[in-house]
Structure 1
Amino acid sequence: MKDTIYTIPLTDAFHAEDECPFCYIKRKLEQDAISFILGCAYMEDDIRATTDQMGFCSEHYKKMYDYGNRLGMALMLHTHYVALQKELTKKIEAFSPTKTSMFAKFKKAKTMDELAGNPISEWVNEQNHTCYVCDYIDKNFIRYMNTFFYLMETSPDFMALFKDCKGFCVTHFGDLMALSDTLVADKAKPEFYSILFDKMQTNLKRIEEDLSWFIDKYDYRNKDADWKNSKDAIPRGIQKLVGIYVQDPPFKEK
């Protein structure tokens, strides 16, 4: 298989023997985005204009803070504050309270999502659902998913990597299933699903057995027994379920 700029990160992820190659890719995309926006990019007007508009989610504010570039973080925050205040002023000037209906007075929302919105609350909600880093990841991640299916069809070497991998986390397994309907040729679907389902069932069972032995090791009768592959069963088990690396230290500027 001849690697290209589009396939190298994908093949590297499968060679990494990770619990999920797509988790591996997503973590790399996230780190690339944080390094980019807190590197030289924070001096670029077009990047700052985009981050001013989109902002970041709470998770990525924390990861950007952990990264350690305080000047870059302060510049990002300052210009975002300037843009946010201008937009809020416009919303406040245009705001007009609505009259509460008799029905609404008696209808109590069970969750915050059920509350009736107004222009300002809807605007705030939009601010909380946009993130430059998340957007960067999403736009690039789908390309790797598409490349995966392309290589499955065109590269026997990549098919071998697929057959030898440890399966995928449950989240990315769902993504693969959703895309496979249209990106896998009908004649190739039986083999693809056979391999994919076997990967998931075999490796979920492997994780479950590692967790079981981890628990058994706390029995005094097993205190001198070998840990086998169970020492990191908890972080691997969490990754397999939700696609996160709980054992990773904070990603920091080099």
Structure 2
Amino acid sequence: MKEKLYTIELTDAVKSGDECCFCWLERKMEQENLEFVLGSSYMESDVRDQTSLHGFCRHHTKMMYDYGNTLGNAWILKSRMEKVRTDLAERLGASEGIASGASVSSAGSKKGLAGKFKSLFSGTGRQVGSFSGVRSGKDSENSGCYICERMDEIYVRMLDTFAWMLEHDPEFGETLLKSKGFCLRHFEEAREVCERTLKPELWGEWEAKLNRLMLDNLDRVQEDVNWLIEKYDYRNKDADWRESRDAVPRAMQKLVGTHPADPVFRDRR
């Protein structure tokens, strides 16, 4: 493979004990990218050129605010707003004519103006990657997100590395089968890339193993949720909680691929 092989990262992920190795990687990558954007890199003109061009989705805008680097956010917003203001004036067309009260009452002019507003403020249909895009969707303030796109690019290579490791690293495969597997979202994507890239006979072997891993761990979390409910019965008030105390956030993660119990990620400097 010409691209970087993310073998260390994937090995760490399957050893993490997380309900989904790719969710664990998603969180790690997201935090690293946020630290990159709001670290000293915000003073680098080439980085600000890219953040000005792409902007940020709602999810990552909120994470940037919560992170707490006021000066870094201000620099990024300064450049981004300058870009948006320039684009808005250009896309509105003859802004001088509009400002001076020129008529836009004709059906054609109204349609053209509405189209310009739509192209500026609505998503352009960019197919976001699933590593970050499932959470941020197409709700960006323009057509993309700098952090989402950085994560998506790396995620594609991580999926390829995952399939490569199943073929070339038996120890990784053994460790994976002892892990808690995946959330539903990442399970489907891991299956897809393995089916597409592995040799048919090898995929036949791993398909059965991955399916069993997913089903067994869904059963495990289901049992934890069921017992959590039973613990609320007064007859079980003295019974052991077993593994059910955090069953709700773990079940949520299995179903939709997120860490709902995570605290806000803040600047730790």
Moved over 6 A (4+): 95-98
Report SS of the residue matched to 1:118: helix
Gaps of 5+ in 1: 105-116
Q: What pairs with 1:165-180 in structure 2 (closer than 5 Å)?
A: 165-180=179-194
Distance 1:167 1:32 in 2: 23
Correspondence 1:249 to 2:263: yes
Gaps of 5+ in 2: 96-103, 124-140
2:196 corresponding residue in structure 1: 182
Task: After TM superposition, give the deviation of residue 24 of structure 1 in Å.
Answer: 0.5
1:122 corresponding residue in structure 2: 119
Amino acid at match of 1:118: G
Which of 138, 155, 161 in structure 1 is aligned with 2:169? 155
Q: TM-score if structure 2 supplies the norm length?
A: 0.83
8 Å contact kept, 2:92–2:116: no
Amino acid at match of 1:176: A
Q: What pairs with 1:53-68 in structure 2 (closer than 5 Å)?
A: 53-68=53-68
Per-residue CA shift, 1:57-98, capped at 9, x if unaligned? 111111111111111011111111111000000011258777
Report SS of the residue matched to 1:209: helix
1:108 corresponding residue in structure 2: none
Per-residue CA shift, 1:165-210, capped at 9, x if unaligned? 1110000011112212211111102210111110111111111110
Distance 2:5 2:250 in 1: 29
Q: How many residues in Structure 1 have an aligned counterpart in Structure 2? A: 236
8 Å contact kept, 2:122–2:142: yes
Stretch deviating more after TM superposition (119-128 or 76-85): 119-128
Amino acid at match of 2:238: D
Distance 2:226 2:105 in 1: 58
Amino acid at match of 1:182: R
Amino acid at match of 2:47: I
C-alpha distance 252-97 of structure 1, shift in aligned 2 (>3 A): farther
8 Å contact kept, 2:55–2:145: yes
1:43 corresponding residue in structure 2: 43
Report SS of the residue matched to 2:217: helix
Amino acid at match of 2:122: N
Distance 2:197 2:20 in 1: 20
Task: After TM superposition, give the deviation of residue 215 of structure 1 in Å.
Answer: 0.6
Report SS of the residue matched to 2:239: coil
Distance 2:202 2:152 in 1: 27
C-alpha distance 190-68 of structure 1, shift in aligned 2 (>3 A): same
